[in-house]
Amino acid sequence: MVLKRKSCNLQTSDETAVHSTVAFVLKGYPRLSETFIAQEILALEQRGLDILIVSLRQPTDRSRHPIHKEIRAGILYLPEFPAREPSRVQKAWSWARRQPNYRVARNQWLRDLRRDWSLARTRSFAQSLVLAHEAPAQLTRLHAHYIHTPASVTRYAAMVLDVPWSCSAHARDIWTAPDWDKKEKLDDLDWLVTCTAVGEKHLTTLAGDPRRVELVYHGLDFGRFPLAGNKQGTSDGSSKNKTVSLISVGRAVEKKGYGCLLDALARLPKHLHWHFTHIGDGALLPALKSQAKKLAIDDRITWMGAQPQDRVIESYRAADMFVLANCVAQDGDMDGLPNVMMEAQSQGLACVSTELSAIPELIEDGITGVLVPPDDEYALSSALARVISNPSLRAQLGKAGLGRVREKFSHHQGVEQLAAKFGLATTRRRMRA
């Protein structure tokens, strides 16, 4: 049964009122590329946190991961384009104007608008008013995923409602948001967690109180990524029946470095037999397919598009190695620690990537994987050729990577940290009880 509370945009299957609810404000939900957020929401739900998912955008992915079907949280979709829902925004504004803290939120928005004169900033304020108006009465905290736009909506709404708020910062949001915006948010929120040591270091330098920033790795739920068995193979690319299968999972966007990767693949020795599979969607996909054709390697590539998690795991297990050529985009955007690398290592795959951002926090060059400088197609091609032609090296790197990811990057540790932040009983406290 679907209940509607305050707005027809709020969907939930739980008819039992709960006295304390935390709203998780996301840019979009559900998203195939944000499994780590869904993993976190489900784990916190299972520990007793009552969550309302607030999405700034309607979903665009055609399919969902199995984990999305397990999450019971209600979903509130805010007006993605406020001008298309004027009556909803008007009702929220009329209600908000009568709230004691409305002027505090409005004045903050106006100060921000003077420094960031954009339609996006105005949309964020309109969405925040709808969020504040349509939030359930039992809401006690707002939590934003990403410190840029979702945190702006969260901050304004928290001001109107006079409730505390917190944030999870990730990658693009950290490196593309202006420092003044991040600094003011860090001084205003209760606490912030971020998923890489390099992100923690940057945000700590901006925070008035560095204790508000904490490193919490996402990690993997190994129950969803069980051991794949022995990855020892004999394929070395020396003949067609010994073709080596490469896989990469990631959106076709600039920071993933797929243009450089295609150039590197085209430079591989002609005698090597290899096949590359890409999983993911993205705006650059047509251009990448055209580039592959011009390089005359399109017959060696399979473009699978976005896939649900079970298909992704199957593809990892069918591959011999993983590659992702991360780089810094022209607007400063870059990955933190891509979850797909941890996923690949959980299946015993040898990984080749770049010395960028937080990737060295997971991959130690020559021990748990191979790293090359970003935007260096020659170094990348040389590394790929070495790993393709050496099955024993792949097995060695894959085994070491598997050991490290299972030892250091289990999501249970991160969930325990978050549970404590949200005031939930951790496993240790439950065991003592």
- Residue 358, SS3? coil
Give the contacts of 229 (CB within 8 A, at least 6 positions apart): 348
* Predicted pLDDT of residue 224: 87
- The correct answer on CATH 3.30.428.10 for the domain covering 10-219+410-432 is no
Check: CB of residue 155 under 8 Å from CB of residue 165.
Answer: yes
Please report, for the chain, the start and end positions of each structural domain, with discontinuous segments joined by +.
10-219+410-432, 240-408
Q: Which position has the token pair 């935390």? A: 22
* Strands 10-11 and 74-77, bridge-based pairing: antiparallel
354-367 residue pLDDT tens? 999 999 999 999 99
199-245 confidence digits (pLDDT tens): 999 999 999 999 999 999 989 999 889 887 666 688 999 999 999 99
Q: What values do phi and psi take at 426, rounded to 5?
A: -80, 170
What is the tens place of the pLDDT at every residue in 149-190?
999 999 999 999 999 999 999 999 999 999 999 999 999 999
- The residue with greater pLDDT, 65 or 363, is 363
Query: Which pLDDT score is estimated for 13?
Result: 39
CA dihedral (230, 313, 195, 80) in degrees, to 10, reads 180
Domains 10-219+410-432 and 240-408 share a fold: yes
At 291 the pLDDT is 98
Q: What is the DSSP letter of 118?
A: S
Mean pLDDT for all residues in the chain: 92
Confidence (pLDDT) at 253: 97
Query: Out of 3.40.47.10, 3.40.50.2000, 3.40.190.10, 3.30.365.10, which CATH number does the structure's domain 240-408 have?
Result: 3.40.50.2000
What local confidence, expressed as pLDDT, does residue 227 receive? 82
pTM of the model: 0.85
The number of residues making up the chain comes to 433
Instruction: Give the contacts of 178 (CB within 8 A, at least 6 positions apart).
Output: 115, 116
pLDDT at 230: 64
Identity of the residue numbered 272:
L
